[in-house]
Amino acid sequence: MKKTIKTVLIGAVAASAVALAGQEYVNINKDASSPELIKKEDLGAKKVVTEEELGLRGSGLNSAVGNLPPVEYKRPAPGAAPRFERSYVNAPPLIPHSIDGLVPITAKNNACLGCHMPAAAKGVGATPIPESHFTDFRPDTKLDKNGNIVKDGKIVVNATDVKIAKFKKLKRLNPARFNCTQCHVPQANVKPLVGNTFKPDFTSDKLKKRSNLIKVIDEGVQ
């Protein structure tokens, strides 16, 4: 019925209300070419969602900041904070300690490496950077003299049309992993905006605080 009413109205209704089938309807859509009609008697009961209610900010969509709750990053110094359990298997772990003075990370300076490089981590009790960060997962890509795309020695038509022949082990940290805070963030002390009932399913207690990504990253790949 509603669809039929809309069809009748398109291009014909300019007024804010119209009587059809003995009932008076109101178009609550400002776009007259796509009317949304409800009975006038039900207008007061219609739940109108304002732009302030659309998101979690509690303010209009054009607001630059919004009314988010205050966020605090009060954490113990490095070496004095217990590690967080991972959010799920092989999730990037949260940073449990303060990062004051450790950021920003630049091309010439990464203070995280002083404690988290494998050679130093054990001695200071830090989580060592995993093997996956010393691995290049990207196929070697170049153009041959004829302009063909060559990946790992194989000519491909599409740049994404290739399976990685093998992972390349590196003797140094993969530059793609150098900016730690792209994936790892400190845990904020903040009231949750929404509830979360997700429960991770760890296959072993070890995986709650360790990564085995390098062993399982190609599972299921044919």
CATH number of the domain bearing residue 157? 1.10.1130.10
Angle at 76 between CA 127 and CA 202, to 5 degrees: 40
Do 111 and 30 belong together in one domain? Answer: no
When mean pLDDT is compared across 53-62, 103-112, 193-202, the lowest value belongs to: 53-62
* Residue 65 maps to a domain: no
pLDDT digits (tens, 9 = 90+) for 72-94: 888 899 988 888 999 999 999 99
How far apart are alpha carbons 207 and 89 in whole angstroms?
Answer: 6
Q: How many domains would you assign to the chain?
A: 2
Do 102 and 179 belong together in one domain? Answer: yes
pLDDT digits (tens, 9 = 90+) for 28-58: 766 666 677 777 766 666 567 776 677 776 7
pLDDT digits (tens, 9 = 90+) for 52-71: 677 776 777 677 666 667 77
**For position 120, what pLDDT does the model report?**
95
When mean pLDDT is compared across 112-116, 133-137, 163-167, 169-173, the lowest value belongs to: 163-167
* Residue 168 maps to a domain: yes
Q: Which two tokens stand for residue 132?
A: 């996956």
* Residue 185 maps to a domain: yes
What are residue 11's phi and psi, to 5 degrees?
Answer: 75, 0
Do 43 and 78 belong together in one domain? Answer: no
pLDDT digits (tens, 9 = 90+) for 139-168: 888 899 999 888 878 888 876 665 655 788
Look at strands 149-151 and 154-156 and give their pairing.
Answer: antiparallel
Most confident by average pLDDT, 31-35, 187-191, 208-212, 217-221: 208-212
Evaluate if pTM is beyond 0.75.
no
**Whether 25 contacts 46, CB under 8 Å:** no
Do 103 and 202 belong together in one domain? Answer: yes
* Residue 11 maps to a domain: yes
Do 14 and 80 belong together in one domain? Answer: no
The boundaries of the domain holding residue 41 are 2-48
pLDDT digits (tens, 9 = 90+) for 1-17: 444 444 444 444 444 55
Residue 127's contacts (CB-CB under 8 Å, 6 or more residues apart) are 83, 93, 116, 121, 209
* Residue 163 maps to a domain: yes
